[in-house]
Structure 1
Amino acid sequence: MHTDSSSPRADYLAALSLEIEKKLQRALSHPSQRSGILQELFADAALEIDARAREMIQSSNGLAHGDAGQCFYDVLADHYIREPANGKRIVDLIVKLWSQSFSSHIFALIFHRWLFETPLHDAQSLLRFASALVQGAGNVFWIDIQTNTRRFFSLFRYLLEDVALVPSRVEIISLQARRDLFLLLSRFVLFYDLEDKLKHFLDSFPEYPTAILVGGPEDVFVIELTDQLQKLKVEPVLLHYLSQVKVLQAHGAGLELRMTTSTRLKACLYSFTSPGGPAYPTRAVRHAAWDALNFLYPVGRYPRHVISLLFRLLYPWYWPFSFWNFVVSVVRAVFYSVFGTFLTAWEKVRRGRPRDL
Protein backbone atom coordinates (compact mmCIF):
# COMPACT_ATOMS: atom_id res chain seq x y z
CA MET A 1 0.00 0.00 0.00
CA HIS A 2 1.36 3.37 -1.00
CA THR A 3 1.86 5.78 1.88
CA ASP A 4 2.53 9.49 2.01
CA SER A 5 6.21 10.25 2.30
CA SER A 6 7.48 12.46 5.10
CA SER A 7 6.54 15.97 4.02
CA PRO A 8 4.67 19.03 5.25
CA ARG A 9 1.59 17.62 3.56
CA ALA A 10 1.87 14.27 5.36
CA ASP A 11 2.53 15.98 8.69
CA TYR A 12 -0.45 18.31 8.22
CA LEU A 13 -2.83 15.48 7.33
CA ALA A 14 -1.53 13.38 10.23
CA ALA A 15 -2.27 16.31 12.54
CA LEU A 16 -5.78 16.58 11.10
CA SER A 17 -6.34 12.87 11.69
CA LEU A 18 -5.14 13.19 15.26
CA GLU A 19 -7.53 16.07 15.84
CA ILE A 20 -10.43 14.02 14.46
CA GLU A 21 -9.45 11.13 16.70
CA LYS A 22 -9.37 13.42 19.76
CA LYS A 23 -12.82 14.81 19.00
CA LEU A 24 -14.28 11.34 18.63
CA GLN A 25 -12.67 10.27 21.90
CA ARG A 26 -14.16 13.34 23.55
CA ALA A 27 -17.58 12.49 22.13
CA LEU A 28 -17.31 9.00 23.66
CA SER A 29 -16.23 10.41 27.02
CA HIS A 30 -18.95 13.09 27.23
CA PRO A 31 -22.36 11.61 26.30
CA SER A 32 -24.18 14.90 26.91
CA GLN A 33 -21.96 16.67 24.35
CA ARG A 34 -21.84 13.96 21.68
CA SER A 35 -24.34 15.51 19.30
CA GLY A 36 -22.64 18.91 19.35
CA ILE A 37 -19.14 17.46 18.96
CA LEU A 38 -20.12 15.26 16.01
CA GLN A 39 -21.97 18.11 14.34
CA GLU A 40 -18.90 20.31 14.74
CA LEU A 41 -16.66 17.58 13.32
CA PHE A 42 -18.96 17.14 10.32
CA ALA A 43 -18.95 20.89 9.68
CA ASP A 44 -15.14 20.95 9.83
CA ALA A 45 -14.85 18.11 7.31
CA ALA A 46 -17.29 19.82 4.95
CA LEU A 47 -15.45 23.15 5.03
CA GLU A 48 -13.82 24.39 1.85
CA ILE A 49 -10.03 24.41 2.11
CA ASP A 50 -8.76 27.91 2.72
CA ALA A 51 -5.66 29.42 1.15
CA ARG A 52 -3.36 28.79 4.12
CA ALA A 53 -4.34 25.12 4.45
CA ARG A 54 -4.07 24.67 0.69
CA GLU A 55 -0.45 25.74 0.77
CA MET A 56 0.22 23.19 3.50
CA ILE A 57 -1.23 20.22 1.65
CA GLN A 58 -0.26 20.99 -1.93
CA SER A 59 2.18 18.53 -3.42
CA SER A 60 2.77 16.61 -6.59
CA ASN A 61 0.10 14.08 -5.60
CA GLY A 62 -2.12 16.47 -3.67
CA LEU A 63 -4.14 19.51 -4.60
CA ALA A 64 -3.47 21.29 -7.83
CA HIS A 65 -3.58 25.08 -7.96
CA GLY A 66 -6.83 24.91 -9.91
CA ASP A 67 -8.66 22.85 -7.28
CA ALA A 68 -9.61 25.81 -5.13
CA GLY A 69 -13.12 24.48 -4.51
CA GLN A 70 -12.09 21.28 -2.75
CA CYS A 71 -13.17 20.60 0.81
CA PHE A 72 -11.28 18.99 3.68
CA TYR A 73 -13.17 15.72 3.25
CA ASP A 74 -11.67 15.38 -0.26
CA VAL A 75 -8.08 15.32 0.97
CA LEU A 76 -8.94 13.28 4.06
CA ALA A 77 -10.62 10.62 1.90
CA ASP A 78 -7.46 10.45 -0.20
CA HIS A 79 -5.26 10.37 2.88
CA TYR A 80 -7.03 7.39 4.43
CA ILE A 81 -6.45 5.16 1.43
CA ARG A 82 -2.77 6.08 1.62
CA GLU A 83 -2.63 5.62 5.39
CA PRO A 84 -5.29 2.96 6.09
CA ALA A 85 -4.00 2.33 9.61
CA ASN A 86 -4.89 5.88 10.63
CA GLY A 87 -8.30 5.41 9.06
CA LYS A 88 -8.93 2.13 10.88
CA ARG A 89 -8.46 3.76 14.30
CA ILE A 90 -10.98 6.47 13.44
CA VAL A 91 -13.47 4.00 11.95
CA ASP A 92 -13.34 1.98 15.18
CA LEU A 93 -14.33 5.11 17.11
CA ILE A 94 -17.13 5.98 14.67
CA VAL A 95 -18.52 2.44 15.00
CA LYS A 96 -18.94 3.04 18.73
CA LEU A 97 -20.99 6.15 17.88
CA TRP A 98 -23.15 4.63 15.10
CA SER A 99 -26.41 5.54 16.83
CA GLN A 100 -25.51 9.24 17.06
CA SER A 101 -26.55 11.89 14.58
CA PHE A 102 -23.87 12.88 12.05
CA SER A 103 -21.86 9.67 12.55
CA SER A 104 -22.94 8.31 9.17
CA HIS A 105 -22.43 11.77 7.62
CA ILE A 106 -18.82 11.82 8.77
CA PHE A 107 -18.18 8.24 7.68
CA ALA A 108 -19.59 8.88 4.19
CA LEU A 109 -17.51 12.03 3.73
CA ILE A 110 -14.07 10.84 4.75
CA PHE A 111 -14.25 7.06 4.28
CA HIS A 112 -16.12 6.60 0.99
CA ARG A 113 -12.86 5.84 -0.84
CA TRP A 114 -11.42 3.81 2.05
CA LEU A 115 -14.41 1.48 1.87
CA PHE A 116 -13.83 0.56 -1.78
CA GLU A 117 -10.08 0.97 -2.20
CA THR A 118 -8.64 -0.80 0.85
CA PRO A 119 -9.00 -4.52 1.58
CA LEU A 120 -11.58 -5.44 4.20
CA HIS A 121 -11.72 -8.91 5.70
CA ASP A 122 -14.84 -8.81 7.87
CA ALA A 123 -18.01 -9.37 5.81
CA GLN A 124 -20.22 -8.25 8.69
CA SER A 125 -18.33 -4.97 9.02
CA LEU A 126 -18.48 -4.47 5.26
CA LEU A 127 -22.27 -4.81 5.39
CA ARG A 128 -22.48 -2.27 8.20
CA PHE A 129 -20.12 0.17 6.46
CA ALA A 130 -22.03 0.00 3.17
CA SER A 131 -25.31 0.71 4.94
CA ALA A 132 -23.78 3.66 6.81
CA LEU A 133 -22.30 5.00 3.57
CA VAL A 134 -25.65 5.04 1.76
CA GLN A 135 -27.43 6.57 4.73
CA GLY A 136 -24.77 9.22 5.33
CA ALA A 137 -24.41 10.11 1.66
CA GLY A 138 -28.17 10.56 1.35
CA ASN A 139 -28.16 12.92 4.32
CA VAL A 140 -25.34 15.11 3.00
CA PHE A 141 -26.86 15.26 -0.50
CA TRP A 142 -30.04 16.57 1.08
CA ILE A 143 -27.99 19.29 2.74
CA ASP A 144 -26.95 20.38 -0.76
CA ILE A 145 -30.60 20.29 -1.80
CA GLN A 146 -31.73 22.42 1.12
CA THR A 147 -28.99 25.00 0.59
CA ASN A 148 -28.96 24.80 -3.24
CA THR A 149 -25.20 24.22 -3.28
CA ARG A 150 -22.90 21.58 -4.75
CA ARG A 151 -20.49 21.21 -1.83
CA PHE A 152 -20.73 17.40 -1.88
CA PHE A 153 -20.53 17.01 -5.63
CA SER A 154 -17.18 15.18 -5.51
CA LEU A 155 -18.68 12.55 -3.18
CA PHE A 156 -21.62 12.02 -5.52
CA ARG A 157 -19.41 11.82 -8.61
CA TYR A 158 -17.18 9.25 -6.93
CA LEU A 159 -20.12 7.05 -5.94
CA LEU A 160 -21.54 7.28 -9.45
CA GLU A 161 -18.50 7.15 -11.72
CA ASP A 162 -15.99 5.23 -9.59
CA VAL A 163 -18.33 2.84 -7.78
CA ALA A 164 -21.74 2.33 -9.43
CA LEU A 165 -20.29 2.23 -12.95
CA VAL A 166 -17.30 0.05 -11.99
CA PRO A 167 -18.41 -3.59 -11.46
CA SER A 168 -15.23 -4.62 -9.64
CA ARG A 169 -15.95 -2.04 -6.93
CA VAL A 170 -19.71 -2.00 -6.64
CA GLU A 171 -19.79 -5.78 -6.33
CA ILE A 172 -17.73 -5.53 -3.14
CA ILE A 173 -20.84 -4.58 -1.21
CA SER A 174 -23.94 -6.73 -0.79
CA LEU A 175 -26.72 -6.87 -3.36
CA GLN A 176 -29.11 -5.02 -1.04
CA ALA A 177 -26.55 -2.26 -0.47
CA ARG A 178 -26.06 -2.02 -4.24
CA ARG A 179 -29.78 -1.63 -4.74
CA ASP A 180 -29.96 1.07 -2.08
CA LEU A 181 -26.99 2.88 -3.62
CA PHE A 182 -28.56 2.94 -7.08
CA LEU A 183 -31.86 4.21 -5.68
CA LEU A 184 -29.96 6.97 -3.88
CA LEU A 185 -28.04 7.99 -7.00
CA SER A 186 -31.25 7.98 -9.03
CA ARG A 187 -32.70 10.70 -6.83
CA PHE A 188 -29.77 13.09 -7.20
CA VAL A 189 -28.18 12.44 -10.62
CA LEU A 190 -30.12 15.29 -12.26
CA PHE A 191 -29.38 17.66 -9.38
CA TYR A 192 -25.63 17.22 -9.85
CA ASP A 193 -25.85 17.62 -13.66
CA LEU A 194 -24.46 14.19 -14.53
CA GLU A 195 -27.21 13.29 -16.95
CA ASP A 196 -24.60 12.39 -19.58
CA LYS A 197 -23.94 9.26 -17.48
CA LEU A 198 -27.61 8.31 -17.41
CA LYS A 199 -27.60 5.61 -20.09
CA HIS A 200 -24.52 3.87 -18.65
CA PHE A 201 -26.04 4.22 -15.18
CA LEU A 202 -29.29 2.55 -16.25
CA ASP A 203 -27.38 -0.24 -17.98
CA SER A 204 -25.54 -0.95 -14.70
CA PHE A 205 -28.65 -1.28 -12.50
CA PRO A 206 -28.81 -4.38 -10.29
CA GLU A 207 -31.87 -6.59 -10.37
CA TYR A 208 -34.73 -5.71 -8.03
CA PRO A 209 -37.15 -8.27 -6.54
CA THR A 210 -40.10 -6.03 -7.48
CA ALA A 211 -39.08 -5.81 -11.14
CA ILE A 212 -42.08 -7.93 -12.22
CA LEU A 213 -44.45 -5.39 -10.65
CA VAL A 214 -42.49 -2.16 -11.11
CA GLY A 215 -40.59 -2.69 -14.36
CA GLY A 216 -37.01 -2.36 -15.53
CA PRO A 217 -34.23 0.07 -14.54
CA GLU A 218 -35.87 2.94 -16.43
CA ASP A 219 -39.06 2.51 -14.44
CA VAL A 220 -37.21 2.29 -11.13
CA PHE A 221 -35.23 5.42 -11.98
CA VAL A 222 -38.31 7.44 -12.95
CA ILE A 223 -40.24 6.30 -9.87
CA GLU A 224 -37.41 7.50 -7.62
CA LEU A 225 -37.22 10.74 -9.59
CA THR A 226 -40.95 11.47 -9.23
CA ASP A 227 -40.76 10.76 -5.49
CA GLN A 228 -37.86 13.18 -5.26
CA LEU A 229 -39.73 15.89 -7.15
CA GLN A 230 -42.66 15.67 -4.76
CA LYS A 231 -40.37 16.16 -1.76
CA LEU A 232 -38.59 19.27 -3.06
CA LYS A 233 -39.43 22.54 -1.31
CA VAL A 234 -36.58 24.80 -2.47
CA GLU A 235 -37.80 26.65 -5.55
CA PRO A 236 -34.46 27.04 -7.42
CA VAL A 237 -33.75 23.34 -6.93
CA LEU A 238 -37.21 22.35 -8.15
CA LEU A 239 -36.80 24.59 -11.20
CA HIS A 240 -33.46 22.93 -11.91
CA TYR A 241 -35.00 19.46 -11.70
CA LEU A 242 -37.88 20.47 -13.97
CA SER A 243 -35.44 21.75 -16.58
CA GLN A 244 -33.23 18.66 -16.32
CA VAL A 245 -36.09 16.16 -16.46
CA LYS A 246 -36.25 16.78 -20.20
CA VAL A 247 -33.23 14.47 -20.57
CA LEU A 248 -35.67 11.60 -20.22
CA GLN A 249 -36.67 12.44 -23.78
CA ALA A 250 -33.23 13.51 -25.00
CA HIS A 251 -31.66 10.29 -23.73
CA GLY A 252 -34.72 8.28 -24.65
CA ALA A 253 -32.79 5.58 -26.51
CA GLY A 254 -33.89 2.66 -24.31
CA LEU A 255 -36.09 4.68 -21.92
CA GLU A 256 -39.19 2.59 -22.49
CA LEU A 257 -41.45 3.17 -19.51
CA ARG A 258 -44.41 1.14 -18.42
CA MET A 259 -47.77 2.85 -18.76
CA THR A 260 -48.11 3.10 -14.98
CA THR A 261 -44.68 4.71 -14.62
CA SER A 262 -45.32 7.15 -17.45
CA THR A 263 -48.68 8.10 -15.95
CA ARG A 264 -47.03 8.58 -12.57
CA LEU A 265 -44.47 11.00 -14.03
CA LYS A 266 -47.14 12.85 -15.99
CA ALA A 267 -49.31 13.23 -12.89
CA CYS A 268 -46.33 14.46 -10.87
CA LEU A 269 -45.50 17.15 -13.43
CA TYR A 270 -49.15 18.11 -13.81
CA SER A 271 -49.44 18.64 -10.05
CA PHE A 272 -47.01 21.55 -10.36
CA THR A 273 -48.96 23.34 -13.11
CA SER A 274 -51.92 24.67 -11.11
CA PRO A 275 -52.04 27.20 -8.29
CA GLY A 276 -53.47 26.26 -4.93
CA GLY A 277 -53.07 23.12 -2.84
CA PRO A 278 -51.52 20.81 -2.14
CA ALA A 279 -48.23 22.03 -3.63
CA TYR A 280 -48.93 25.80 -4.00
CA PRO A 281 -46.32 26.11 -6.77
CA THR A 282 -45.07 29.55 -7.75
CA ARG A 283 -45.62 30.99 -11.22
CA ALA A 284 -42.05 30.13 -12.24
CA VAL A 285 -42.54 26.52 -11.13
CA ARG A 286 -45.85 26.26 -12.97
CA HIS A 287 -44.31 27.48 -16.22
CA ALA A 288 -41.29 25.15 -15.83
CA ALA A 289 -43.63 22.22 -15.17
CA TRP A 290 -45.69 23.06 -18.27
CA ASP A 291 -42.52 23.22 -20.36
CA ALA A 292 -41.37 19.84 -19.10
CA LEU A 293 -44.82 18.29 -19.48
CA ASN A 294 -45.27 19.57 -23.02
CA PHE A 295 -41.77 18.48 -23.99
CA LEU A 296 -42.11 14.94 -22.64
CA TYR A 297 -45.76 14.47 -23.58
CA PRO A 298 -46.55 16.59 -26.66
CA VAL A 299 -49.67 14.53 -27.43
CA GLY A 300 -52.65 16.06 -25.63
CA ARG A 301 -50.88 19.36 -25.03
CA TYR A 302 -53.82 21.63 -25.93
CA PRO A 303 -56.54 19.64 -24.12
CA ARG A 304 -54.38 19.77 -20.98
CA HIS A 305 -54.17 23.57 -21.20
CA VAL A 306 -57.92 23.88 -21.71
CA ILE A 307 -58.60 21.68 -18.68
CA SER A 308 -56.08 23.66 -16.65
CA LEU A 309 -57.78 26.91 -17.66
CA LEU A 310 -61.15 25.58 -16.55
CA PHE A 311 -59.71 24.59 -13.19
CA ARG A 312 -58.17 28.05 -12.83
CA LEU A 313 -61.73 29.45 -12.84
CA LEU A 314 -62.18 27.72 -9.47
CA TYR A 315 -59.68 30.19 -7.96
CA PRO A 316 -61.17 33.67 -8.64
CA TRP A 317 -58.64 35.37 -6.38
CA TYR A 318 -55.97 34.44 -8.95
CA TRP A 319 -57.80 36.10 -11.86
CA PRO A 320 -56.35 39.64 -11.41
CA PHE A 321 -52.79 38.26 -11.20
CA SER A 322 -53.33 36.02 -14.20
CA PHE A 323 -54.77 38.89 -16.23
CA TRP A 324 -51.92 41.19 -15.23
CA ASN A 325 -49.29 38.57 -16.12
CA PHE A 326 -51.00 38.00 -19.45
CA VAL A 327 -50.92 41.75 -20.24
CA VAL A 328 -47.25 42.00 -19.22
CA SER A 329 -46.35 38.97 -21.35
CA VAL A 330 -48.12 40.41 -24.40
CA VAL A 331 -46.51 43.83 -23.96
CA ARG A 332 -43.09 42.24 -23.52
CA ALA A 333 -43.56 40.05 -26.61
CA VAL A 334 -44.68 43.04 -28.72
CA PHE A 335 -41.78 45.15 -27.47
CA TYR A 336 -39.19 42.49 -28.25
CA SER A 337 -40.74 41.92 -31.67
CA VAL A 338 -40.69 45.62 -32.55
CA PHE A 339 -37.20 46.07 -31.11
CA GLY A 340 -35.93 43.04 -33.04
CA THR A 341 -37.45 44.37 -36.27
CA PHE A 342 -35.84 47.77 -35.66
CA LEU A 343 -32.41 46.21 -35.06
CA THR A 344 -32.73 44.10 -38.21
CA ALA A 345 -33.68 47.13 -40.29
CA TRP A 346 -30.88 49.22 -38.80
CA GLU A 347 -28.35 46.49 -39.54
CA LYS A 348 -29.50 46.36 -43.17
CA VAL A 349 -29.22 50.15 -43.48
CA ARG A 350 -25.78 50.16 -41.88
CA ARG A 351 -24.50 47.45 -44.21
CA GLY A 352 -25.96 49.24 -47.23
CA ARG A 353 -24.04 52.48 -46.61
CA PRO A 354 -21.01 53.04 -48.82
CA ARG A 355 -17.80 53.04 -46.88
CA ASP A 356 -15.75 56.22 -46.71
CA LEU A 357 -12.73 56.12 -48.95
Structure 2
Amino acid sequence: FSLYYFGPRKVAQTVYSFPASASVRSLSLDFFLKEIAGVLRKIKVEGVIITYLSSLVRLHELIPFSTLSLATTARVQEVLFTLSQPGGPYYAPKAVRVQARNSFSKIYPHGKRMRALFKILTSILHPAYSVNAMLSNISTLLGRICSTWPWERLGATCRDLVRRVSGPRGPSRRAVD
Protein backbone atom coordinates (compact mmCIF):
# COMPACT_ATOMS: atom_id res chain seq x y z
CA PHE A 1 0.00 0.00 0.00
CA SER A 2 3.06 2.25 -0.02
CA LEU A 3 2.23 3.61 -3.48
CA TYR A 4 -1.16 4.82 -2.22
CA TYR A 5 -0.11 6.18 1.17
CA PHE A 6 3.38 7.53 0.43
CA GLY A 7 3.18 8.21 -3.29
CA PRO A 8 5.46 7.32 -6.17
CA ARG A 9 8.32 9.57 -5.06
CA LYS A 10 8.76 7.69 -1.76
CA VAL A 11 8.59 4.30 -3.52
CA ALA A 12 11.25 5.50 -5.99
CA GLN A 13 13.44 6.62 -3.06
CA THR A 14 13.00 3.21 -1.43
CA VAL A 15 13.99 1.41 -4.64
CA TYR A 16 17.03 3.67 -5.07
CA SER A 17 18.07 3.11 -1.43
CA PHE A 18 18.99 -0.49 -2.23
CA PRO A 19 22.66 -1.19 -3.08
CA ALA A 20 24.09 0.37 -6.24
CA SER A 21 24.05 -2.79 -8.35
CA ALA A 22 21.64 -2.39 -11.25
CA SER A 23 20.41 -5.97 -10.94
CA VAL A 24 19.53 -5.53 -7.25
CA ARG A 25 17.71 -2.30 -8.04
CA SER A 26 15.68 -3.99 -10.79
CA LEU A 27 14.89 -6.88 -8.43
CA SER A 28 13.58 -4.45 -5.82
CA LEU A 29 11.48 -2.69 -8.47
CA ASP A 30 10.20 -6.12 -9.56
CA PHE A 31 9.21 -6.87 -5.98
CA PHE A 32 7.35 -3.57 -5.56
CA LEU A 33 5.52 -3.87 -8.87
CA LYS A 34 4.49 -7.49 -8.21
CA GLU A 35 2.97 -6.34 -4.93
CA ILE A 36 1.33 -3.31 -6.56
CA ALA A 37 -0.19 -5.54 -9.26
CA GLY A 38 -1.49 -7.88 -6.57
CA VAL A 39 -3.03 -5.00 -4.64
CA LEU A 40 -4.62 -3.59 -7.83
CA ARG A 41 -6.34 -6.94 -8.39
CA LYS A 42 -7.89 -6.84 -4.91
CA ILE A 43 -9.02 -3.20 -4.69
CA LYS A 44 -12.71 -2.60 -5.35
CA VAL A 45 -13.00 1.16 -4.67
CA GLU A 46 -13.03 3.27 -7.84
CA GLY A 47 -11.21 6.31 -6.44
CA VAL A 48 -8.43 4.21 -4.94
CA ILE A 49 -7.86 2.32 -8.20
CA ILE A 50 -7.67 5.60 -10.13
CA THR A 51 -5.16 6.97 -7.59
CA TYR A 52 -3.08 3.80 -7.87
CA LEU A 53 -3.08 3.96 -11.68
CA SER A 54 -2.03 7.62 -11.81
CA SER A 55 0.66 6.94 -9.18
CA LEU A 56 1.88 4.01 -11.26
CA VAL A 57 2.36 6.35 -14.24
CA ARG A 58 4.27 8.83 -12.07
CA LEU A 59 6.42 5.98 -10.69
CA HIS A 60 7.22 4.95 -14.27
CA GLU A 61 8.32 8.54 -14.97
CA LEU A 62 10.67 8.39 -11.97
CA ILE A 63 11.96 4.85 -12.58
CA PRO A 64 11.50 3.49 -16.12
CA PHE A 65 10.00 0.01 -16.15
CA SER A 66 12.36 -1.13 -18.93
CA THR A 67 14.53 -3.06 -16.44
CA LEU A 68 11.68 -5.24 -15.21
CA SER A 69 11.73 -8.99 -15.60
CA LEU A 70 9.50 -10.49 -18.26
CA ALA A 71 7.18 -12.04 -15.65
CA THR A 72 6.63 -8.73 -13.84
CA THR A 73 6.07 -6.87 -17.11
CA ALA A 74 3.47 -9.47 -18.09
CA ARG A 75 1.73 -9.14 -14.69
CA VAL A 76 1.55 -5.36 -14.85
CA GLN A 77 0.31 -5.43 -18.45
CA GLU A 78 -2.28 -8.08 -17.59
CA VAL A 79 -3.68 -6.04 -14.70
CA LEU A 80 -3.79 -2.85 -16.77
CA PHE A 81 -5.42 -4.69 -19.67
CA THR A 82 -8.12 -6.36 -17.58
CA LEU A 83 -8.91 -3.07 -15.83
CA SER A 84 -9.28 -1.37 -19.22
CA GLN A 85 -11.86 -3.87 -20.51
CA PRO A 86 -15.59 -3.90 -19.75
CA GLY A 87 -17.01 -7.01 -18.16
CA GLY A 88 -15.45 -9.67 -16.01
CA PRO A 89 -13.54 -10.50 -13.97
CA TYR A 90 -13.34 -6.95 -12.55
CA TYR A 91 -16.38 -5.16 -14.06
CA ALA A 92 -14.47 -1.89 -13.76
CA PRO A 93 -16.45 1.37 -13.97
CA LYS A 94 -15.91 3.60 -16.99
CA ALA A 95 -13.62 6.05 -15.16
CA VAL A 96 -11.34 3.17 -14.12
CA ARG A 97 -11.32 1.73 -17.65
CA VAL A 98 -10.36 5.11 -19.13
CA GLN A 99 -7.61 5.68 -16.54
CA ALA A 100 -6.29 2.13 -17.03
CA ARG A 101 -6.20 2.64 -20.80
CA ASN A 102 -4.36 5.96 -20.38
CA SER A 103 -1.91 4.44 -17.90
CA PHE A 104 -1.30 1.48 -20.20
CA SER A 105 -0.51 3.72 -23.16
CA LYS A 106 1.80 5.97 -21.11
CA ILE A 107 3.73 3.14 -19.48
CA TYR A 108 3.84 0.88 -22.55
CA PRO A 109 3.51 3.15 -25.62
CA HIS A 110 4.50 0.41 -28.08
CA GLY A 111 1.43 -1.48 -29.24
CA LYS A 112 -1.00 1.35 -28.54
CA ARG A 113 -2.59 1.07 -31.99
CA MET A 114 -2.86 -2.70 -31.73
CA ARG A 115 -4.66 -2.37 -28.39
CA ALA A 116 -7.06 0.18 -29.92
CA LEU A 117 -7.74 -2.23 -32.79
CA PHE A 118 -8.32 -5.04 -30.30
CA LYS A 119 -10.79 -2.86 -28.38
CA ILE A 120 -12.73 -2.13 -31.58
CA LEU A 121 -12.78 -5.81 -32.54
CA THR A 122 -14.05 -6.86 -29.10
CA SER A 123 -16.76 -4.21 -29.38
CA ILE A 124 -17.84 -5.73 -32.68
CA LEU A 125 -17.76 -9.27 -31.27
CA HIS A 126 -19.69 -8.24 -28.15
CA PRO A 127 -22.46 -6.02 -29.55
CA ALA A 128 -24.30 -5.77 -26.23
CA TYR A 129 -21.48 -3.62 -24.82
CA SER A 130 -21.19 -1.43 -27.91
CA VAL A 131 -24.96 -0.88 -28.29
CA ASN A 132 -25.31 0.15 -24.64
CA ALA A 133 -22.29 2.46 -24.93
CA MET A 134 -23.68 4.00 -28.12
CA LEU A 135 -27.12 4.54 -26.55
CA SER A 136 -25.49 6.07 -23.49
CA ASN A 137 -23.47 8.47 -25.66
CA ILE A 138 -26.59 9.43 -27.66
CA SER A 139 -28.50 10.02 -24.43
CA THR A 140 -25.72 12.24 -23.09
CA LEU A 141 -25.57 14.18 -26.35
CA LEU A 142 -29.34 14.65 -26.39
CA GLY A 143 -29.17 15.80 -22.78
CA ARG A 144 -26.64 18.46 -23.67
CA ILE A 145 -28.62 19.62 -26.70
CA CYS A 146 -31.95 19.57 -24.90
CA SER A 147 -30.87 21.32 -21.71
CA THR A 148 -32.79 24.55 -22.44
CA TRP A 149 -36.36 25.08 -21.17
CA PRO A 150 -38.47 24.31 -24.28
CA TRP A 151 -36.48 21.19 -24.95
CA GLU A 152 -36.39 19.79 -21.40
CA ARG A 153 -39.57 17.77 -21.77
CA LEU A 154 -38.49 16.38 -25.13
CA GLY A 155 -35.07 15.54 -23.65
CA ALA A 156 -36.65 13.73 -20.71
CA THR A 157 -38.87 11.79 -23.10
CA CYS A 158 -35.88 10.84 -25.27
CA ARG A 159 -33.83 9.74 -22.25
CA ASP A 160 -36.75 7.66 -21.02
CA LEU A 161 -37.07 6.10 -24.46
CA VAL A 162 -33.34 5.28 -24.57
CA ARG A 163 -33.56 3.68 -21.11
CA ARG A 164 -36.48 1.54 -22.23
CA VAL A 165 -34.74 0.48 -25.42
CA SER A 166 -31.43 -0.33 -23.74
CA GLY A 167 -33.20 -2.42 -21.10
CA PRO A 168 -31.79 -3.43 -17.73
CA ARG A 169 -27.98 -3.60 -17.58
CA GLY A 170 -27.43 -5.69 -14.53
CA PRO A 171 -28.82 -7.07 -11.32
CA SER A 172 -28.81 -3.66 -9.62
CA ARG A 173 -31.20 -2.02 -12.13
CA ARG A 174 -34.89 -2.80 -12.29
CA ALA A 175 -36.83 -2.73 -15.53
CA VAL A 176 -39.01 0.34 -16.04
CA ASP A 177 -42.72 -0.55 -16.27
Aligned: 1:309 with 2:120: yes
Q: How does 1:265-276 map to 2 (within 5 A)?
A: 265-276=76-87
Alignment of 1:144-293 (within 5 A): 188-205=1-18, 216-252=27-63, 256-293=67-104
Structure 2: stretches of 5+ with no match in the other structure: 145-177
Task: Give the secondary-structure state (helix, strand or coil) at the position aligned to 1:293.
Answer: helix
State whether residues 242 and 289 of structure 1, in contact with CA within 8 Å, keep that contact through their aligned partners in structure 2: yes
What CA RMSD, in Å, does the superposition of the two structures yield over aligned residues?
2.6
> How far does residue 242 in structure 1 lie from its aligned partner after superposition?
1.3
Q: Find the counterpart in structure 2 of residue 89 from structure 1.
A: none
In the other structure, the counterpart of 1:321 is: 132
State how far apart, in whole Å, the 2-side matches of 1:193 and 1:298 are. 26
C-alpha contact 2:43 2:49 (8 A) present in aligned 1: yes
Task: Supply the distance in 2 between the matched residues of 1:236 and 1:216 (Cα, whole angstroms).
Answer: 29
Measured in 1, the distance between the counterparts of 2:66 and 2:114 equals: 25
Instruction: Measure how far apart 1:326 and its partner are.
Output: 4.5
Aligned in 2, Cα 1:306/1:285: closer, same or farther, shift over 3 Å? same
Q: Is the 8 A contact 1:243 1:292 kept in 2?
A: yes
Q: Does the 8 A contact of 2:84 with 2:96 survive in 1? A: yes
SS at structure 1 position matched to 2:74: helix
TM-score normalised per structure 2: 0.68
Q: 1:205 to 1:283 in 2, by over 3 A?
A: same
Q: How much does 1:255 deviate?
A: 6.4
Question: In 2, Cα distance between the equivalents of 1:308 and 1:280?
Answer: 16
Deviation readout 1:264-309 (Å, 9 max, x if unpaired): 1011100011111111111111101001001101111011011122
Contact 1:274 1:312 in 2 (8 A): no
Larger Rg over CA atoms: 1
The residue that corresponds to 1:90 in the other structure is none
Equivalent residues in 2 for 1:335-354 (5 A)?
none
Q: Residue 297 of structure 1: which of 104, 108, 116 is its match?
A: 108
Q: Secondary structure at the match of 2:83?
A: coil
Deviation at 1:235, TM superposition (A): 1.3
Which one-letter code corresponds to 2:77 in the other structure?
Answer: K
TM-score (norm 1): 0.35
Contact 1:222–1:261 (8 Å) recurs in 2:
yes
Deviation string for 1:212-261 (max 9, x for gaps)?
Answer: 9xx61011111011001001111111111112110232112586211221
Which sections of structure 1, spanning at least 5 residues, go unmatched? 1-187, 333-357
